[in-house]
Amino acid sequence: MSTQTDVPNAPQPELPKGEFLGHPKALWQLFNIEMWERFAYYGMRAVLAVYVATTFFGHLGAEANAQASLVYGGYTALVYATGIAGGYVADRILGYQRSILLGAIIMAAGLFVLLIEDLTWFLIGLALIVSGNGLFKPNISTMIGKLYAPGDVRRDSGFTIFYMGINLGAMLAPFVTAYWVGATYGLKWGFFAAGIGMILSTLFLEVAKKSLGKVGRPEPGKDGWGRFFAVGFGAIVLAGIVYFLLSASTVLGYLLMAIMLGLVIYFIGAGIRSGNKVQMHRYIAMLILFFANACFWALFEQAGSSLNFFAREFSTPMFGSMETWQAGGFGIFQSLNPLYILLFAPVFAAAWPKLEKMGMNPSIPRKFALGLIQVALGFYILVWAISNMQNAAGLVPWIFLALCYLLHTTGELCLSPIGLSMVTKLADDKEVGLAMGGWFLSIAMAQYVAGVIAAIASGGSSNAHGEAVAAGITQYQDVYMQLFWLGLGFGVLYLIFAPMINKLMHGVK
């Protein structure tokens, strides 16, 4: 795209025709497609860990939550890890539209396989979702950028509108899949509701083809259906590998560490080979910030696992009866993060430029530090509430969990939106794609670690009463206190060493 802007006579891509509310009509179509896909993803995530614990590991007693947390952590880690391959397939083999379509079909199939109450089949369903997500998620975001001509000032606001669609779907999903369907008919039917959302996403993709025009279509000579079915076969093979990794959590952990170590060695080597001292320093800064990113998400991603177990077992109902709450109502806490993002993202977006004009805008390392400190403080709120605010039944008022999610979200807004931009600025132009893969791999690694942490935090909990319950909530308190010190410690370290990291970045802001 930069080549097209640099060369005036270069052929420009054919953009889709028609506008609505000042943006291409296709933007609103993609908004709808992504909203329903996120509805499916976050809808199933809202009930996933608890369903796995009660359905497949209930016979293990207090260890049920721990085993379910490991499955959850492995699944979310692989969701991020496989996205790297999806962009390559769309770029080189299948085109964006058909990659998204194939991914949507595979994900929908996986969601319905989850209805089979057998652990082997359940893991197959998760593996299909992971494989399909790799084809879907990275490519629909890429298509947004292709709706606008190079230099079109509407591009940023277009991505903002699309981002709102993501969070709208994520906010609505737990109300439907967990609080309504799951609590009324059983948690597994929450997966059915999520599957319906994925089918709607697939159907809206077909509707959008007219508005998209040539955007995302395969190149001439690459439009045969043979490629479609060949990639589909490859996705099934990948699902088989994912199934093995989900079944062998330790192997997955070692694999992620090995890949991450390989990337670290590669970028250090690339910096040395370049003979450019500035680029070498920037790669070192990027890797240091990758570590901060991994620390943040390892803490933040307790949301779908240990915090979900805590909400079900030790939180008072936000509304409704205790019976409805424990049957699935607890899942509505998964709506708080996207709700907070919808409310506060515009505030943060407006605040940074104003702080810049005042000379008070925190540097990238300091924003990362603020994110870590806030996620730590969120856990401290729960630790304090467990010590001081339990009622006679041993339950903590729901408002404290809501405040925890609020601090986690404001921490996310300090770190996540600038992370991708930071990678594109620090990496050499020839290695931006690999650096972006490293960013997502650091999140995948964090998801795996989050599952291990959640297994420790929730392993002592129980649905019994009396001493078993007390032991359970004490386990959460102890682990969350450790997470508080971990997040706070790294946050303070990044504040202290921010000037050194900034120096390594050589002017990148």
Instruction: Indicate left, alpha or beta for 464 from its phi (over 0: left) and psi (-120 to 50: alpha).
Output: beta
Instruction: State yes or no: pLDDT of 55 exceeds 90.
Output: yes
Give the other-Cβ count within 10 Å of 88's Cβ.
14
CB 124 within 8 A of CB 243: yes
Are 68 and 41 contained in the same domain? yes
In a domain, 8, yes or no: no
Could you say which of 247, 279, 299 is where a domain stops?
A: 247
Could you say which of 247, 274, 307 is where a domain stops?
A: 247
The pLDDT-based confidence of 462 (bands split at 50, 70, 90) is: very low
Measured between alpha carbons, how far is 125 from 139 in angstroms, rounded to an integer? 22
Could you say which of 206, 225, 247 is where a domain stops?
A: 247
Are 94 and 221 contained in the same domain? yes
Are 393 and 458 contained in the same domain? yes
Are 329 and 186 contained in the same domain? no
Instruction: State yes or no: pLDDT of 275 exceeds 70.
Output: yes
In a domain, 5, yes or no: no
Are 201 and 296 contained in the same domain? no
Total number of domains constituting the chain:
2
Mean pLDDT, the chain, whole residue set: 86
Are 270 and 242 contained in the same domain? no
Termini Cα distance of the chain: 23
Residues 6+ apart with CB under 8 A from 316: 391, 395, 396, 397, 398
In a domain, 4, yes or no: no
**How would DSSP label each residue in 300-353?**
HTTTTTHHHHHHHHHB--SSS-HHHHHHTGGGGGGGHHHHHHHHHHHHHHHHHH
* 292 vs 156, higher pLDDT: 292
Are 347 and 408 contained in the same domain? yes
Beta bridge partners of 223: none
Instruction: Return the residue matching tokens 């089949």.
Output: 121
What's the full length of the chain, in residues? 509
Instruction: Find, among 278, 15, 310, the residue nearest to 158 by Cα.
Output: 15
Instruction: State yes or no: pLDDT of 461 exceeds 50.
Output: no
Burial class (CB in 10 A: 0-12, 13-18, 19+), 226: exposed
- Which domain covers residue 222, as residue numbers? 15-247
CB 494 within 8 A of CB 272: no
Largest CA distance in the chain: 77
Residues 483-493 have pLDDT tens digits of 999 999 999 99
Q: Tell me the CATH number at 378.
A: 1.20.1250.20
Residues 465-477 have pLDDT tens digits of 444 454 589 999 9
SS3 content of the chain, % helix, strand, coil (to 5): 80, 0, 20
Are 241 and 272 contained in the same domain? no
Are 289 and 209 contained in the same domain? no
Instruction: State yes or no: pLDDT of 60 exceeds 90.
Output: no
Give the other-Cβ count within 10 Å of 3's Cβ.
8
